[in-house]
């Protein structure tokens, strides 16, 4: 991609007397929001101090000295110099590049094929997957796709919550009230039911807790029956989770959960001991982190049981050894911020420099009617139900808009699930947001279906045109109505880079909305399918929009049906 900003910086540099370097100029150049102010603007007031002149003056004088070749015009407006790119030339360059590279437009090799484990989704066995886990799943998946586009090799790890004393309770509950049938039919609900019942009954029968502890002890000791039950519960739960993952089109590279680190924690404790980092505090083993302004990390409880962070220490070390990662990412809710600060701090204390490559990628909560969702309050939204409802709503709208569409079921599934995913990703990840299904599945407004619909509209124009565009023979587009769309197409590569740098899929989602809007505006103003000498150029634009919208949606994990 030609660097148009650099072209502007060079032009300014040649007109001044070395008061600023080209790099300094490039840093000051702005991208005006209003197209009437040009494509780039140089704030001449940054020279006011050295030149001891009024900024307006500077702008006026400088504009006379600037070589305007390659620009449509360059003009001084107040203290700014506005640069207008040559639309015909630039549109030709951008459209040629998009259609030559197609879905590879915007690919980078920044990552040098280095691996990046991404800890994502990570629901807890025998419990329903919550909307929080959904957020982690879709944000993590999009970040994985973005990293891959930047030349990294993402490794999607589902760090399942598959160990802990709750399994003792579950086993005792199953022993008392469980049925194999029930679990097989509806694993999550059956297991959750036993667990909930256990917590009701142990209020009156505290001996239940001792029995549960005994079951967990058996599990830890590798007892055959306990292990069989644990494996079975894990498998059945995973099957249920997988139906959701399948619908979202998400696969994992590893399901190594908490249990996987059972035999890897002793080493961690040994290293901590060797390095003199372990301290005793009220019978428990801790690492003091007051130097980091953090609470101590609790490594081993009084009863010798290891904790969540101990497992995560073992996991971090394991991942470094296994993947020799460039970065190691954890897409986990904001409420675990302190946990990850502690994790990084302990690793740092252990002398691992690579702890700086560990990044917690936090996200906010999904609320409903402004209220928090929580398992305890019973205010949980069940994921499958949400997806089913979204698909049903999408289907209604498709029936109304396009009753003869072939393959309605598949399109409705893509639009409904896509809508839920897109809605999640268009919000900056740290923001809390409200979930209102009707809002999410609307075909107008800033929604996934709107972007999908815009893509389908572009595809339908191309079908009607019955002409393929030869990327080697694209001529420039002179229609000023097309300019905003062309410019946005050219910004796709830098948009991806920003999304990657900030681990922020919303950058892509907002971009896709922006591009869809610009394209629809263009389509409303200009006739596309008219036989004249600009027809091919217009088709090249439509095809480029289709390519980039589809790729933007793909990076979010959302499908783009050709028709809807
Ligand atoms: N299972 C945990 C939960 O649901 C999330 C695990 C996140 N990953 C990690 N490596 N700690 O809260």
- The answer to whether the CB of 332 is under 6 A from ligand 1 is yes
Q: Which domains does the chain have, with CATH numbers?
A: 4-85 (3.30.1360.70), 115-254+308-361 (3.40.50.620), 392-556 (1.10.730.10)
Instruction: Write the ipTM.
Output: 0.99
- The answer to whether the CB of 159 is under 6 A from ligand 1 is yes
Give the pLDDT confidence of 35-76 residue by residue, as tens digits: 999 999 999 999 988 889 999 999 999 999 999 998 999 999
Q: Which of 278-287, 446-455, 510-519 has the lowest mean pLDDT?
A: 278-287
Which residues have CB under 8 Å from 90's CB, separation 6+?
4, 476, 486, 490
Rounded to whole angstroms, how far apart are CA atoms 305 and 73? 72
**Average pLDDT for residues 531-547, to the nearest whole number?**
96
pLDDT of 306 > 70? The answer is: no
pLDDT of residue 380: 53
More confident site: 380 or 188? 188
**Average pLDDT for residues 285-302, to the nearest whole number?**
94
CA of 332 to the centre of ligand 1 (A): 7
Rounded to whole angstroms, how far apart are CA atoms 6 and 282? 62
For a pocket test of ligand 1, which of 164, 312, 320, 332 has the largest count of ligand atoms closer than 8 A to its C-beta? 332
182: number of CA atoms within 13 Å, CB side?
11
Crossing angle of helices 131-149 and 224-248, in 10° steps, is 70
- The answer to whether the CB of 257 is under 6 A from ligand 1 is no
- The answer to whether the CB of 162 is under 6 A from ligand 1 is no
- The answer to whether the CB of 330 is under 6 A from ligand 1 is yes
The continuous run of DSSP H or E covering 57 comes out as: helix 55-65
pLDDT of residue 377: 47
Give the pLDDT confidence of 435-466 residue by residue, as tens digits: 888 889 999 999 999 999 999 999 999 999 99
- The answer to whether the CB of 134 is under 6 A from ligand 1 is no
Contact 485, 522 (CB under 8 A): yes
pLDDT of 544 > 80? The answer is: yes
Six-digit token string for 256: 């190594």
Residue appearing with tokens 């994985």:
144
For a pocket test of ligand 1, which of 161, 297, 338 has the largest count of ligand atoms closer than 8 A to its C-beta? 161
CA of 341 to the centre of ligand 1 (A): 14
Rounded to whole angstroms, how far apart are CA atoms 300 and 378? 32
- Own/partner long-range contacts of 60-63 (Cβ < 8 Å, ≥24 apart): 62/12, 62/15, 62/16
pTM: 0.94
Give the pLDDT confidence of 478-502 residue by residue, as tens digits: 899 999 999 999 999 999 999 999 9
- The answer to whether the CB of 312 is under 6 A from ligand 1 is yes
**Average pLDDT for residues 91-110, to the nearest whole number?**
97
Strands of 71-77's sheet in order across: 40-43, 80-85, 71-77
pLDDT of 316 > 60? The answer is: yes
Nearest CA to ligand 1 atom 6: 122
- The answer to whether the CB of 115 is under 6 A from ligand 1 is no
Give the pLDDT confidence of 25-44 residue by residue, as tens digits: 999 999 999 999 999 999 99
């Amino acid at each position: 991609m030609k660097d148009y900003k650099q072209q502007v910086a060079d032009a300014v540099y040649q007109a001044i007397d070395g008061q600023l370097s080209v790099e300094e100029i490039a840093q000051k150049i702005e991208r005006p929001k209003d197209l009437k102010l040009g494509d780039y603007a140089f704030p001449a007031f940054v020279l006011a101090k050295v030149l001891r002149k009024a900024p307006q003056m500077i702008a006026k004088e400088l504009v006379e000295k600037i070589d305007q070749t390659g620009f449509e015009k360059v003009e001084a407006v107040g203290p700014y110099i506005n640069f207008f790119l040559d639309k015909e030339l630039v549109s030709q360059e951008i459209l040629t590049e998009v259609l030559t590279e197609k879905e590879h437009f915007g690919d980078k090799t920044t990552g040098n094929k280095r691996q990046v484990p991404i800890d994502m989704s990570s629901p807890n066995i025998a419990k329903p997957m919550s909307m929080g886990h959904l957020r982690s799943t879709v944000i993590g998946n999009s970040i994985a796709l973005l990293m891959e586009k930047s030349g990294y090799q993402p490794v999607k790890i589902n760090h399942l919550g598959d160990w802990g004393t709750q399994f003792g309770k579950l086993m005792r509950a199953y022993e008392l009230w469980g049925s194999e049938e029930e679990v097989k039919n509806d694993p999550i609900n059956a297991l959750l039911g036993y667990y909930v019942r256990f917590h009701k009954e142990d209020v009156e029968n505290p001996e239940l807790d001792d029995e549960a502890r005994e079951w967990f002890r058996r599990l830890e000791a590798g007892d055959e029956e306990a292990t069989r039950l644990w494996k079975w519960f894990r498998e059945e739960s995973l099957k249920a989770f997988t139906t959701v993952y399948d619908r979202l089109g998400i696969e994992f590279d590893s399901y190594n959960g908490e249990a996987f680190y059972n035999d890897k924690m002793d080493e961690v404790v040994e290293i901590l001991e060797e390095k003199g980092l372990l301290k005793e505090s009220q019978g428990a083993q801790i690492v003091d982190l007051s130097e980091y302004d953090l609470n101590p990390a609790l490594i081993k409880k009084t009863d010798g049981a290891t904790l969540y962070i101990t497992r995560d220490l073992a996991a971090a070390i394991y991942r470094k050894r296994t993947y020799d990662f460039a970065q190691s990412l954890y897409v986990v809710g904001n409420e675990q911020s302190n946990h990850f600060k502690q994790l990084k701090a302990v690793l740092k204390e252990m002398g691992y420099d690579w702890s700086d490559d560990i990044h917690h990628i936090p996200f906010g909560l999904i609320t409903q009617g402004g209220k928090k969702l929580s398992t305890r309050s019973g205010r949980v939204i069940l994921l499958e139900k949400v997806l089913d409802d979204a698909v049903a709503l999408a289907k209604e709208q498709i029936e109304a808009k396009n009753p003869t569409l072939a393959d309605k079921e598949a399109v409705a599934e893509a639009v409904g699930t896509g809508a839920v995913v897109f809605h999640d990703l268009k919000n900056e990840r740290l923001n809390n947001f409200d979930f209102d299904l009707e809002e999410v599945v609307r075909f107008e407004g800033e929604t996934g279906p709107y972007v999908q619909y815009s893509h389908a509209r572009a595809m339908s124009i191309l079908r009607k045109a019955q002409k393929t565009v030869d990327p080697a023979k694209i001529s420039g587009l002179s229609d000023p109505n097309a300019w905003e769309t062309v410019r946005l197409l050219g910004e796709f590569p830098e948009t991806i880079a920003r999304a990657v740098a900030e681990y922020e899929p919303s950058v892509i989602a907002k971009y896709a909305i922006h591009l869809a809007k610009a394209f629809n505006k263009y389509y409303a103003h200009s006739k596309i399918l008219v036989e004249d000498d600009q027809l091919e150029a217009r088709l090249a634009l439509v095809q480029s929009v289709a390519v980039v919208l589809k790729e933007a949606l793909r990076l979010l994990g959302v499908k783009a049906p050709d028709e809807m």
